[in-house]
Amino acid sequence: ELSSTLDHLEDVINRMKQSLHEVELSASNKSLVTFPFVLLKVINGQFPRPALLDEYWDDLYELFTYNEVACCKGRPESDEVVLHIRGFADEGAEHHRNRELNPIQTAYDFLGHLKAGDKVAVVGRFNNVAQYIKPLEDRGLQVRFVGGQKSFEDFCFLKSATKLIAGNSKSTFVRNAALLSNTVKNVSLYCGFSKNYTCLSEEEPFTNHKLARKNIKYPDFRY
């Protein structure tokens, strides 16, 4: 089974290499890149910009497909909002500049549209996740923490959401899961950094039909 999986991945990668399309990054950046750049960015955990996603979404979706029966520990309920807490500050000083909304801002501003009784599943792997639970519960939301999972199980949980995926736009983990999900349409990725930071919403919109049909919002919390 492992051998056949590796053969499948090699086949997908080879098909992507053969296309060797050059894609313009943006109107303000006239540099052109080819497929090796896309693969390099995926391997390094930095997902391509919108123009590249438009070009290679189908191939990347296939590349990131795995045995969900064997790899997924749990799934969100159909009426649950799935909230991802990244925890940049817990990861170290080099990531501290990637500002996140605090628990109060998350509960009352970012998820302020939710009503008492709505369900929220919270996913995260750092120590700061616990402090986000109580403010959500204080609003009358039904909250559960999805913990004790491996990273690929968290990714599968996020990718399996159906109602809404919410998180930090700077997190490639939640962004990749939302964009590669075949089950979720509504996505909310907040922009919470300095005014010098460019939100994804300010870039060119997606044109790939599978991405364009998603309802992606980028709430602006820049300071």
Residue 79: pLDDT band (50, 70, 90) is very high
Q: Please tell me which residue, 103 or 222, carries the higher pLDDT value.
A: 103
132-190 tens-digit pLDDT: 999 999 999 999 999 888 888 999 999 999 999 999 988 888 988 898 888 999 999 99
- What secondary structure letter does DSSP report for 222? -
Neighbours of 19 (CB within 10 A): 11
Smallest Cα–Cα separation from 123: which of 92, 79, 187, 167?
Answer: 167
pTM, two decimal places: 0.77
Residue 69: pLDDT band (50, 70, 90) is confident
42-68 tens-digit pLDDT: 444 445 566 667 777 787 777 777 777
Exposure string for 192-213, b = 16+ CB within 10 A, e = fewer: bbeeebebbeebeebebeebee
- Farthest CA pair distance, the chain: 54
Q: What angle do CA 219, 222, 223 make, to 5 degrees?
A: 150
Residue 186 contacts by C-beta under 8 Å, 6 or more apart in sequence?
A: 163, 164, 165, 214, 215
Residue 26: pLDDT band (50, 70, 90) is very low
| Model confidence at 109: pLDDT above 90 | yes
Using CA atoms, how far apart are residues 172 and 89, in angstroms rounded to an integer?
16
Q: What angle do CA 161, 158, 97 make, to 5 degrees?
A: 135
In contact, 179 and 156? CB cutoff 8 Å: no
**Main-chain phi, psi angles of 205, to 5 degrees:** -70, 160
